[in-house]
Every structure is written in structure tokens, then in C-alpha cells.
Structure 1
Amino acid sequence: MTKESFTAHADLKETGFGYTLSLIGGKYKMTVLYALYANNAPIRYNQLKRMLGAISFKTLTNTLKELEADQLINRKEYPQVPPKVEYSLSEKGLSLIPVLDAICYWGEEQMKK
């Protein structure tokens, strides 16, 4: 979308930019996605929690549910006792990694200034 067509839209939510923000907006969504990517393998809840540190259990649970509902992550539950659940990036989630990488590179360049 060009800058000119962007300004022609009355509602930001109706743009590709707005849609993308609806998927990755929020305090921990991008962090969770990047952590799943960095792990390079399915990861269990507690391992993900340890990677993220300061996030509360409730916030992590809600974030994972939202990401799953948006089809950005896969949740695989194994029928055993105790229950075993693993999370991984979906194809749609993997397609966001270049966007997150661009944000990372931009930040690294700005920190040098």
C-alpha cells in the first residue's frame, strides 16, 4: 500500500497495516512469536515461560490462546497423564518472521546512533 492510498482510507483497521497490528499488537505477542522461532522446535509451556521471564502465567496463557485463535501458532496436546502440550509456529506465524526480523534490525541500527 502506498502512502497516498493509506491516507485515503478512513479507517486504519481496514488496511493491511491495521490487520497486521491486530495480529501482533499487544505487550507479549511479538516476543512469544520470536521465542518460538528462536527455539527452532516445539516448546512446552513452562520452557516458554522460563524464556520470557517476567510474563505472568495468566498473561502467557491468554497470549497463547490469542495467537492460536489467529492461527499464528500450533498447539499440540498429547493424550497422557500428566498432560503434555507443545507450541510451535504455524506457517502463517513463520511468514511473520521477516517482519519481526526487520523490526529487530531497525532497532539494532538505532541503538548504534
Structure 2
Amino acid sequence: MLSPFDIWSPTFHAPFSGDVTQEITPRVFSPDIKGSMGIENRIQTQVASYGTQLGKILEALMVLADKDKTALPEIEKLIADIEAVKADAKEVLREEAIAALARLEKVDPEAHADLVNLR
């Protein structure tokens, strides 16, 4: 529902002022990159993303903390926050898939039936 403020003071967005996403990849001519860009790229694309690599480090850190009976509340919160984002992303993906299947059912019922009966 619109309020009087929406009518009298609309929101304007300048070009390129919206949400920003950034891919983290080694830059070719950057003096800040140490090591081999090709190796880094292969590790990310063929072995594990930065998130997976950091996840394994956090997992190992928690095992060591548990063994040593050391509390790491900031690391525990970080892990919980990451898991919450992953759970939310799964739910969003599930909702998008349901919506896509509903669109497919309207446009191509036979293809929809084929996909739904894959199990």
C-alpha cells in the first residue's frame, strides 16, 4: 500500500546504484596476486571453491577446539550464519524450481510429466 510519502518523495536510483555482485578471481596484471593465476583458477574450478576450502579449515578448527575444550564463540557464530545462508539458499532454489515446473506444466504438460516422473 502506498503512503503519502511514496507519492511526494519517490525514490530515485542513479545508474549502477543497485545491488552489486563481485566474482573473486585472480587478476591477470595485478601486482597483489602471489603465486600462479593458472593454478589458482584450476584449484577453484577443478578442486574446491574458496568457500569449500574455508569450510574445511573451519571444520578442522572446531575439531581442535573441541579436543582442547576451547570455546570459539565468534567462529561458532560464523559457522551458524553460513549454515543459515545455505539453508535459505536451498529454500529459494526449491521455490524457484517449483515455479519453473508450474510454468512448464502450463506450456508443455508432456515435458512436465516426464520430469515429475523421473523418480
Select the structure that is richer in strand.
1
TM-score (norm 1): 0.32
Which one has the largest radius of gyration? 2
TM-score (norm 2): 0.31
Asked which structure has the greater RCO (Cα within 8 Å, sep 6+), the reply is: 1
